[in-house]
């Protein structure tokens, strides 16, 4: 678009934007463009030169004016398109709407409800800010046609998002192709038909009562064994605590010490650089609280409580932060054992970038195993699923209740495992050693390259495709799988390098952040536990050195 076209588009936006803050921000930006400010012109191009698209988790982006930002106009247009999509499928569809504690989440949620109601879609707004898993549960519990969760999960404070779930045959899973493309096409039609402020609205929507939350608490609170446990919990300035507290109590889990500075929702996330428990330093306050209270474990949820992180004391008295793969294998092993005891069948699933160790667990217990593309919208749809996870701290421990990752139910499962071990007089360290001796030692690492320009990610992936390495570090590349060509999985911008000595490297763009991600995995299955761990660690270091040089 030329600068004149961008200015015209921005002026049209000003006329339809109901938000005083974004109108003022855009008016100031336009004034800068008229003064010849190059930064303002580049910012206008970024906001109006493209439109937010559905990624791994629906719409997600920075707050601000323009079609390439999250704002009330984009939310209204998207909701009007969603209404048309649903009305083409059902005569009287219904949508349940949830929101978290981020800036504008409650405002956006009411906009969704009003637009849907104005389009003759029955809209049900959850009673207050709640975790994402409660919304995912509510889609099934209320037999809704769809669900919308207003959240940006663990993204930086300046972001928000619009996460879309489908009921019916999708059973409360996140939207996938081709439905997402249909919604995007309908958004284009809505935009072309006129300003967002002319879209019909109605306040004749329902507000759910607390019974929905009560039902989630009962469904999630699996009874825990009776044992003493000192532990620390943090919701990381998100909405997790109010619901998690009830779940823990209902399950009979000993009450935790809560990180007071992070207990209540705060959209600015003042104590963490990024509100993501994967990020370095994110658990520092929780670990400090654990030292003060003599705790044995730390459990954290991200701001919308769909992810769970954990750390435990190691035998030396220090702390071991468990990776998503560590937790994924522990929880998967526990669920596989339970299935064996009950004579149940089913499938264990994980994303293709997660550790291959889950396959070994499935094979030992005679269960099915599936790898999927990244994202729980794929994992949750695996036939016969009894457990799914991905390395980014996402765990689906009860597909019959919630068809999405759920950090609260995962915390219950993990804490239940700790309590089981304590009741048997065993430690988690001993349990982890038993895993390595039974299935092999699996070591993983992720390298993330954050970029300022999204084009840098495409350039890097193009480079790896056109000139694939013959070695990574000193490990020979034995096979390259380009998943953009399809095959066993739907086409995706992913490269998988199978290497000597059982190593693997996967490269993919992040679906939610401006990052190029490299996933490194190695396995060792010969020798005792110590020998296996030592060998896996050594190969991982060699692979890491090569991976870092691969992306400069």
Report the catalytic residues.
Answer: 153
The DSSP symbol for 502 reads G
Q: Of 534, 351, 355, 353, which Cα lies nearest the Cα of 448?
A: 353
Give the number of other Cβ atoms within 10 Å of residue 363's Cβ: 13
| 499 in Cβ contact with 543 (< 8 Å) | yes
Structure tokens at 45: 């191009």
| 414 in Cβ contact with 308 (< 8 Å) | yes
CA distances from 459 to 42, 103, 448, 550 (A): 21, 34, 15, 13
Q: Of 405, 403, 351, which Cα lies nearest the Cα of 374?
A: 351
Rounded to the nearest 10°, the torsion over CA 333, 338, 344, 346 is -30
CA distances from 362 to 27, 299, 322, 325, 340 (A): 58, 26, 21, 15, 11
Structure tokens at 172: 């409360």
Whole-angstrom distance, CA of residue 398 vs CA of residue 419: 19
Structure tokens at 385: 């699923």
Within a 13 Å sphere around the CA of 166, how many CA atoms are in the beta-carbon half?
23
DSSP 94-139: EEEEEE-SSTTHHHHHHHHHHHHHHTT-EEEE-SS---HHHHHHHH
CA angle 502-507-512, nearest 5°?
Answer: 135
DSSP 224-279: PP-----EEEE-TTSSHHHHHHHHHHHHTPPPPEE-GGGSS--TT-TT-SSS-TTS
Whole-angstrom distance, CA of residue 446 vs CA of residue 104: 32
Q: Of 282, 324, 328, 326, which Cα lies nearest the Cα of 302?
A: 282
* β-pair partners for 368: 347
Instruction: Name the strand (E) or helix (H) holding 346.
Output: none
């Amino acid at each position: 678009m030329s600068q004149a076209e961008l200015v015209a588009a921005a002026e049209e936006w000003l006329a339809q934007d109901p938000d005083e803050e974004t109108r003022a921000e855009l008016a100031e930006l336009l004034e800068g463009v008229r003064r010849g400010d190059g930064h303002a012109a580049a910012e206008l191009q970024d906001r109006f030169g493209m439109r937010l698209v559905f990624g791994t988790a629906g719409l997600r982006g920075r707050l601000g004016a323009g079609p390439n930002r999250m704002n009330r106009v984009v939310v209204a247009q998207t909701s009007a398109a969603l209404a048309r999509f649903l009305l083409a499928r059902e005569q009287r569809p219904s949508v349940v709407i949830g929101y978290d504690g981020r800036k504008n989440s409650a405002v956006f949620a009411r906009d969704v409800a009003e637009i849907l109601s104005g389009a003759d879609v029955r809209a049900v707004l959850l009673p207050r800010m709640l975790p994402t898993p409660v919304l995912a549960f509510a889609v099934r519990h209320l037999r809704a046609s769809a669900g919308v969760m207003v959240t940006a999960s663990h993204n930086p404070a300046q972001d928000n998002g619009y996460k879309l779930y489908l009921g019916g045959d999708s059973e409360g899973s996140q939207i996938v192709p081709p439905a997402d493309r249909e919604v995007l096409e309908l958004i284009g039609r809505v935009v072309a038909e006129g300003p967002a402020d002319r879209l019909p609205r109605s306040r004749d929507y329902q507000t759910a009562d607390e019974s929905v939350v009560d039902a989630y608490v009962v469904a999630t609170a699996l009874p825990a064994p009776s044992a003493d446990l000192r532990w620390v919990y943090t919701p990381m300035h998100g909405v997790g605590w109010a619901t998690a507290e009830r779940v823990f109590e209902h399950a009979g889990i000993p009450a935790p010490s809560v990180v007071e500075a992070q207990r209540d929702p705060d959209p600015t996330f003042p104590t963490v650089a990024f509100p993501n428990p994967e990020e370095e330093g994110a658990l520092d306050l929780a670990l400090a609280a654990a030292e003060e209270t003599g705790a044995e474990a730390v459990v954290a949820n991200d701001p919308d409580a769909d992810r769970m992180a954990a750390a435990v004391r190691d035998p030396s008295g220090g702390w071991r932060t468990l990776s998503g793969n560590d937790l994924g294998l522990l929880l998967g092993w526990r669920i596989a054992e339970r299935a064996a005891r009950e004579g149940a069948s089913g499938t264990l699933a994980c994303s293709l970038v997660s550790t291959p160790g889950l396959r070994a667990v499935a094979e030992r217990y005679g269960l099915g195993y599936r790898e999927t593309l990244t994202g729980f919208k794929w994992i949750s749809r695996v036939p016969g699923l009894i457990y799914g996870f991905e390395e980014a701290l996402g765990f689906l421990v009860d597909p019959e209740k919630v068809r999405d990752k759920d950090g609260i139910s995962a915390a219950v499962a993990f804490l239940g495992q700790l309590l089981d071990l304590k009741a048997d007089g065993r430690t988690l360290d001993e349990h982890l050693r038993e895993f390595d001796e039974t299935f092999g030692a699996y070591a993983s690492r992720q390298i993330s390259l954050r970029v300022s320009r999204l084009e840098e990610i495409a350039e890097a992936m193009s480079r790896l495709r056109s000139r694939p390495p013959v070695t990574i570090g000193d490990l020979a590349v034995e096979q390259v799988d380009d998943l953009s060509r399809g095959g066993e999985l739907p086409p995706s911008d992913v490269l998988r390098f199978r290497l000597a000595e059982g190593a693997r490297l996967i490269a993919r763009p992040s679906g939610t952040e401006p990052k190029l991600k490299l996933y490194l995995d190695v396995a060792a299955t010969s020798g005792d536990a110590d020998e296996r761990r030592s060998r896996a660690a050594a190969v991982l270091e060699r692979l890491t050195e090569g991976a870092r040089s691969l992306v400069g």
